[in-house]
Structure 1
Amino acid sequence: MESAGQHGEGAADSVAAADSVVDRIQEAEEAVERSLADLRELERLPVSEHVARFDAVHDALTDALNRAEELLSGPSSSGS
């Protein structure tokens, strides 16, 4: 039989896990938005600086997709 304390702890763990997921999603979205904002400024930059901006957007999108994949696949067995 489960005690009231044990049940409450499980619920708190679930809420904390959900909060962590939301935080990770928000971080990824913010990184993508920052990178896209940088792209909007391309016309003001010399062409020689464009590649660095494109690389930054690519990195942000790759990171966001990797985070989404991790979140969809469930908890990692690596413990990170």
Structure 2
Amino acid sequence: MFATILFPVVSALVELVKKTFVLPKNIIPTISLVIGMVIGVLAYPFSEMDIVLRLWAGGIAGLAGTGLFELVKKRDGKTNKNE
């Protein structure tokens, strides 16, 4: 349930990172996973869960934000096409 709450926040932050920085598309799932785990840990005032459970929930929210299938899918190119 905690991952469901974190999902929109993580998705919004990942989209912000994608629009702000020019990044290779193949690292976006990893960035999403890391952002999810960081947000999960930073949400300690809102939950009394153990840190391991918050890391899991953040990781799940991060993977849901990009889609788990993109971890194994080879993607070429950059995120910001403006340059």
The bucket for the TM-score relative to the shorter chain is 0.3 to 0.5
Q: Choose between structure 1 and 2 for higher RCO, CA contacts under 8 A separated by at least 6 residues.
A: 2
Q: TM-score, normalised by structure 2?
A: 0.37
- Structure with bigger helix share is 1
Pick the structure with greater CA Rg.
1
